[in-house]
Structure 1
Amino acid sequence: MIVVTFRAHRTEAGDGPAYYDALARMEAIATTLPGYIFHKAYRAEDGERLTFFQWESLETLDAWARHPDHVATKRLGRAELYADYHLQVCEVLRESRFNR
């Protein structure tokens, strides 16, 4: 399993309709791709946002990274929507669960 963390601060435009339209399009595509498991987003008090993704494999993540609509949206993000971001791709080495 592959875990991706995407930490970012948005620009002013990144809090507007262009961002939310792009987000809706990307979620509609990503959630239907083979290998997608889930994602969740969080916001810190300082405005930093964290999105946490899980994919079945590097191959399925790479297919998402190369998807033409995603490539175009990443360009838009760098050009207009994000002030900065930090992306990490990690392989799960061990997993543990507890449920009451």
Structure 2
Amino acid sequence: MTDEFAYAPGQIVTVFRSRLRPDAAPDFQAVAAEMLETARAMPGFVDYKVYVAEDGERVSVIVFETAEQQRAWREHPRHRAAQQAGRERFYSDYSMQISVCTAAWRFPDA
């Protein structure tokens, strides 16, 4: 993992916005922890953060070094099973945006 906020141009940034079903929490936490452990072991993994808004919306930001590495994560068999579980059991709704970082800077300058 890189230093906090130290992303770089060319990296792939996935923004996953979601809402959990009211009864999803116990099962969800175990699957989410397993997926984070799996993602961190993937080549090209850079960072993962999750934020929860007051209204319950969750925003996860996942960063990989390249599009190929992000696709490998998307297609990973354990991740595919978790995606299916998300649709069937965990999420009431979600959306995803995948972008290439075109510029990056930080304050204070490192």
TM range (shorter): over 0.9
Q: Which residue of 1 is the match for residue 7 of structure 2?
A: none
Gaps of 5+ in 2: 1-10
- 1:94 Cα shift? 1.0
> Percent of aligned pairs with the same residue?
34
Higher helix share: 1
Q: Distance in 2 between matches of 1:53 and 1:70?
A: 14
Q: Does 1:85 align with 2:90?
A: no
Q: Distance in 1 between matches of 2:31 and 2:16?
A: 16
Q: Distance in 2 between matches of 1:99 and 1:32?
A: 30
- 1:13 Cα shift? 2.6
Structure 1 consecutive aligned stretches of length 4 or more whose deviation exceeds 3 Å: none
Please say if residues 42 and 51 of structure 1, whose CA atoms lie closer than 8 Å, have aligned partners that are also in contact.
Answer: yes
The count of residues paired between Structure 1 and Structure 2 equals: 99
Q: Normalising by the residue count of structure 2, what TM-score does the alignment of the two structures yield?
A: 0.86
Matches within 5 A, 1:25-40: 25-40=34-49
Matches within 5 A, 1:61-76: 61-76=70-85
Matches within 5 A, 1:1-100: 1-15=11-25, 17-99=26-108
- 1:53 Cα shift? 1.1
Gaps of 5+ in 1: none
